[in-house]
Every structure is written in C-alpha cells, then in structure tokens.
Amino acid sequence: MATEQQSKSLWQHAWETLLRDKMAVVAMIIIFVYMAMAVLSATGIIVSDWAAEVGPSYGAPSLDHWFGLDMFGRSVLAKTIKGTEVAISVGFIASLLSLVIGVTLGSIAGYFGGRVDEFIVWFYTTFTSIPNIMLLVAITFISGKGLKAVILALGLTGWVSLCRLIRGEVIRHKDREYVHAASAIGGGNYRKLVKHILPNVTHIMIISFSLQFQIAIKSEVILSYLGLGVQGRPSWGIMIDDAKLELARGVWWQLGAATFAMALVVLAFNILGDALRDALDPKLKGK
C-alpha cells in the first residue's frame, strides 16, 4: 500500500511539474490537435473530399487555397490534413508495437536472468549490429509495400533501446524489499512482475513511447520516398517525394506544407519527451 501511495503522489508531482512547463503544455495541445485531426479525417468528418479537383494544376497559395494546389488541382491543405491520418496511425501503432516487444523482452531478461537473459542480450546485440535502415528496407520489402508494412517495419525495429532500459531497471528492482515481500505472501512470477515491478518502470515506457512516436513519423517519410511507403492515399512522405519534380518549376508549397506539418508535430513530441523525462526521471537525462 505504501508504495502505491508513494507512486501516486510521484505521478501527481510529475504532472504538476509538466503543467508548469509552458512549452510542454503547448506541445501537448499541438499533439492533441493532430490526434483530433487524424481521427476526424479517418472517420470522414473532415477533408473527405481531399481528392476533389478544386482549381488549376499547381495553383499557387491564395486566400481560397492557403497552401496552394497540387498537380491534379487538389488542395494541398486538405492533403496535408489527410496526411495526419497516416502519420499518427504509423506513429501510434508502430511505437505501441515497439513498446510491447521492448517491455516484454526487457522484463523477461531482467527478471529471469541466467540463460534467458543471455539469449535476449545476444538477440538485441545481434539486432543492433544490423543498420536500422537495412532492416527497415528488408522488412517493408518482404511484407509488401503499404501502410501495414511500414508500421510492421518501424515497430519491429524500434524496441531495442527500450528493451535495454527496462532490463536494467527490472534487474535493479528485482531484489528490492517490496518484491521479496510479494514472494513472501505467495505471489507468482507473473504476478510479481506485472503487479510490483512494471509499475515502477512505467515512466520509462511513457518517455520512450513519445520518443518512438516521432522517430516513426520521420521514418515513414523516408520509407515513402524510397517507394516502400503507403500508396494511394496522402502522406507527408509522398508529398515531399512529389516535390522532387515540382521544385524546379518553382512549386514549393507542397514541400513546405508537408515539411511544416511534420516538423511541428515532431518538435512537439521532442519537447514533450524532454519535459516528460525531466518531470518523471531526471536520471535519464542524456541517455
């Protein structure tokens, strides 16, 4: 009971620290707006007509169309908003996948130790030896191009650093008194791990999740450029890729809009990640 109460006030304290950080609050608002846009566009409430031709090909930004028009006369603004759908879903599902893999392997390795630990350490050492970009390419390639492939590739490659951190923390917590107390009252391994150790590493998961989110958004753009990304629906990566040919004609707005849309949300995640780290675990600074 004592630890539970303590951790509650710890969260409360962290939350208060976070709210006092104005930058972090702005970042949270930005992220919330993006999430809302993604949900609204996915359910067809907004920008369902993004594919409609609303003006001349490559129409420049104007009062009617703030971000200009693309080759097919479609509104770049609508496409950019529609693009949040891909970005947020890739970011969210991929980082969730990384989180699950990282936490599972990390806590198993840390908790059971011995041979199991050696095997998992060997596995992630091996995994990190392969350059991430090669793995990304290989996995998207194999699972066939498209949204699912991108999410799978990013999810399957982003778990290593979290796994390391969790393993270290679990090892640290394993021998603490409250865990021993739990075994004394007859808690099984699973119960001990889930009920007593994992709540103590939740902050690491949150920080890592927010970091992984923006890495996934950035990587989606690159995969799209490599032709391995989503097809047939607007994504910031495809918009930036299109800009390759447009810039020479002086059409910069598609690049501008996609870059700005992406940079803003990535920046927000970066700032939130740093603020979370400062609020939840100052020790993690710089790691």
Residue closest to 282 by CA, chosen among 204, 209, 210: 204
Question: What track of x and - describes contact with another protein for positions 108 through 127 (by CB under 8 A)?
Answer: --------------xx-xxx
Please give the DSSP secondary-structure letter assigned to residue 143. T
User: What six digits make up the tokens of 104?
Assistant: 């599972």
CA dihedral angle for residue 15, residue 21, residue 27, residue 30, rounded to 10 degrees: 80
Question: Could you say whether residue 266 binds another protein (CB under 8 A)?
Answer: yes
Query: What whole-number distance in Å separates Cα of residue 233 and Cα of residue 79?
Result: 9
Q: How far is CA 82 from CA 46, 177, 259, in A?
A: 9, 51, 14
Among 3, 7, 17, 161, binds another protein (CB under 8 A): 17
Question: Could you say whether residue 142 binds another protein (CB under 8 A)?
Answer: yes
Query: What whole-number distance in Å separates Cα of residue 194 and Cα of residue 187?
Result: 11
Alpha helix (H) residue ranges in 185-231: 189-191, 202-225
Q: Which is nearer to another protein, 36 or 142 (CB)?
A: 142
Residues of span 44-103 touching another protein by CB under 8 A: none
Q: Minimum Å distance from CB 151 to another protein?
A: 16
Question: Could you say whether residue 240 binds another protein (CB under 8 A)?
Answer: yes
Q: Which is nearer to another protein, 3 or 259 (CB)?
A: 259
State CA 156 to chain mean position distance.
13
Q: Which is nearer to another protein, 81 or 193 (CB)?
A: 81
Coil, strand, or helix at residue 262?
Answer: helix
Question: Could you say whether residue 221 binds another protein (CB under 8 A)?
Answer: yes
Q: Which residues bind another protein (CB under 8 A)?
A: 17, 20, 122-123, 125-131, 133-134, 137-139, 141-142, 144, 214, 218, 221-222, 225-228, 236-237, 240-241, 243-244, 247-248, 252, 255, 259, 262-264, 266-267, 270-271, 274, 285-286
